[in-house]
């Protein structure tokens, strides 16, 4: 017998039934693409407040967009960092090297040399230009699409490839998914596959730096989809309450795997506007404009170092490739999105800016690109000497149980022996290392 409320007694006159809103992307596979609905302000429009200003003065920066490079490839406005040509060339080289590295590793995955890879094509400025704006000893807490940080800080490509191949020279001993690097020497915190965990870690590290009276700050990156995680909001609360010296980056590349940014809240407001709600400084920046990214990051880093508190930066960009080598973006988005993206390509824009300055040429670009392809190829061949996926060159099997305890407990030693016995039974030709 039914025990619920009587519908006749609970009806509320002529009120319409409730309906649930489900975000829907603007374009699906096969659709024509028209980005005219995006509000892209001209470069040089927004003011640059003092780095120690009250957070409320940055509110216009959260709904607008900081831009420096115009269609004429010139730098304009108060956010122009006025970098010297040599620095611009080094930044261009690091971005181009990141792309060349991605292309080579993508092919390596398709050739079966590794199980997985993630490219950052179209997003190079969000990591490389940001890194150029930081001090070398600032601690970075990256997500899984910031390989440009390590490249900009001079980490050896061969070491990165060893980790991707999980071979015998992998310093992480095969314990991490490919592309989840870690490097204490370059102040690069271990990448985690659990989304947004690096945000509270970065804020906690920054708080510790402040407690010690140090001068180092922390920075962290997440994709816009990860900003819907609870860790994002916990970090924002702690950063605001304790005025942590941290720069928090949201890379809004429009897509979180196959879910577009609306599922993380992009239909309602910008991601930078979340800073307003927490009472901290915020900046929305053209993520494909290397000069704007550099300027915004330098502003936020200087603010943190001057005890002005945290800053949230939204990098408005576009993920030109699939989410990973396991993803086919043609299944959920229009193939025309990439070519129609109104903010262009970050490497192309910086190249054209240098040419406009008379400090670069198409011939120099072609020569550099060829040099970088050879550089990555040489690093790959060197790493392959240490083994690739499935070729048996890896760390000794017993090492999976090591490096947690100073002395391995008896029960783990027992498990290690059992695992080795089972491995020998399954593969009699295998010999313990």
Q: Tokens representing 296?
A: 């915004």
Q: Which residue bears the tokens 């900003």? A: 227
243: left (phi over 0), alpha (psi -120 to 50) or beta: left
Q: Is residue 121 within 8 Å of 318, Cβ to Cβ?
A: no
Does any domain span residue 345? yes
Q: What is the pLDDT of residues 373-405, one digit of tens each?
A: 999 999 999 999 999 988 878 888 888 899 999
**CA separation, residue 280 to residues 86, 215, 240, 345, 395 (Å):** 34, 20, 6, 30, 46
Beta strands in 153-257 (DSSP E): 218-223, 246-252, 255-256
Question: Is 203 in the same domain as 250?
Answer: yes
Judgement on whether residues 176 and 303 belong to the same structural domain of the protein: yes
Residue 349 lies in a domain: yes
Same domain, 378 and 415: no
pLDDT digits (tens, 9 = 90+) for 109-134: 999 999 999 999 999 999 999 999 99
For 279-289, the pLDDT digits (tens) are 999 999 999 99
Please provide the DSSP assignment of 247-260 as one string: EEEEEE-SEETTEE
Distance CA 40, CA 42 (A): 7
Which residue spans within 287-426 are E strands per DSSP?
A: 311-316
- Residue 64 included in any domain: yes
Mean pLDDT of the chain: 95
pTM for the model:
0.94
Task: State what percent of residues in the chain have pLDDT above 70.
Answer: 97
My answer on whether 105 and 192 are in the same domain is yes
- What is the predicted pLDDT for the residue at 8? 57
380 inside domain: yes
Which residue shows structure tokens 């179209």? Answer: 122
Residue tagged 């440009």 (tokens): 148
Q: What average pLDDT does range 265-271 have in this prediction? A: 96
pLDDT digits (tens, 9 = 90+) for 175-214: 999 999 999 999 999 999 899 999 999 999 999 999 999 9
Show the domain range for 414: 397-426
């Amino acid at each position: 017998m039914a025990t619920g409320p009587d519908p006749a007694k609970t009806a509320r006159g002529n009120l319409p039934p409730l309906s649930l809103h489900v975000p829907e992307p603007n374009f699906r596979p096969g659709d024509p693409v028209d980005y005219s609905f995006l509000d892209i302000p001209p470069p040089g429009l927004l003011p640059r407040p003092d780095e120690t200003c009250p957070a409320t003065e940055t509110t216009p920066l959260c709904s607008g967009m900081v831009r420096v490079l115009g269609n004429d490839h010139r730098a304009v406005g108060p956010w122009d960092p006025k970098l010297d040509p040599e620095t611009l060339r080094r930044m261009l080289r690091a971005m181009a090297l990141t792309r060349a590295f991605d292309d080579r590793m993508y092919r390596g995955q398709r050739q079966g040399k590794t199980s997985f890879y993630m490219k950052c094509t179209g997003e190079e400025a969000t990591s490389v230009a940001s890194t150029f704006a930081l001090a070398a000893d600032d601690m970075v807490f990256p997500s899984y699409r910031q390989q440009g940080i390590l490249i900009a800080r001079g980490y050896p490509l061969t070491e990165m490839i060893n980790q991707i191949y999980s071979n015998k020279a992998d310093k992480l001993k095969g314990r991490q998914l490919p592309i989840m690097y870690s490097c204490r020497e370059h102040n690069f915190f271990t990448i985690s596959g659990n989304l947004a965990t690096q945000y509270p870690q970065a804020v906690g590290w920054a708080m510790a730096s402040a407690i010690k009276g140090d001068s180092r700050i922390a920075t962290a990156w997440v994709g816009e989809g990860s900003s819907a995680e609870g860790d994002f909001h916990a970090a924002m609360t702690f950063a605001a309450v304790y005025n942590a010296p941290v720069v928090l980056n949201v890379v809004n590349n429009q897509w979180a795997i196959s879910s577009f940014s609306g599922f993380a809240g992009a239909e309602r407001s910008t991601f930078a506007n979340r800073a307003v709600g927490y009472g901290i400084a915020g900046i929305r920046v053209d993520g494909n404009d290397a000069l704007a990214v550099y300027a915004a990051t330098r502003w936020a880093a200087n603010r943190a170092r001057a005890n002005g508190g945290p800053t949230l930066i939204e990098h408005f960009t576009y993920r030109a490739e699939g989410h990973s080598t396991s993803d086919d973006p043609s299944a959920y988005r229009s193939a025309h999105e990439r070519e129609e993206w109104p903010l262009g390509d970050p490497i192309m824009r910086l190249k054209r800016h240098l040419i406009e300055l008379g400090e670069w040429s198409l011939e120099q670009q072609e020569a550099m690109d060829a040099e970088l392809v050879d550089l990555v190829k040489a690093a790959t061949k060197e790493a392959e000497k240490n083994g690739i996926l499935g070729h048996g060159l890896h760390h000794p099997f017993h090492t999976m149980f090591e490096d947690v305890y100073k002395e391995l407990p008896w029960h783990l030693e027992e498990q290690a022996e059992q695992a080795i016995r089972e491995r020998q039974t399954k593969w009699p030709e295998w010999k313990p290392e």
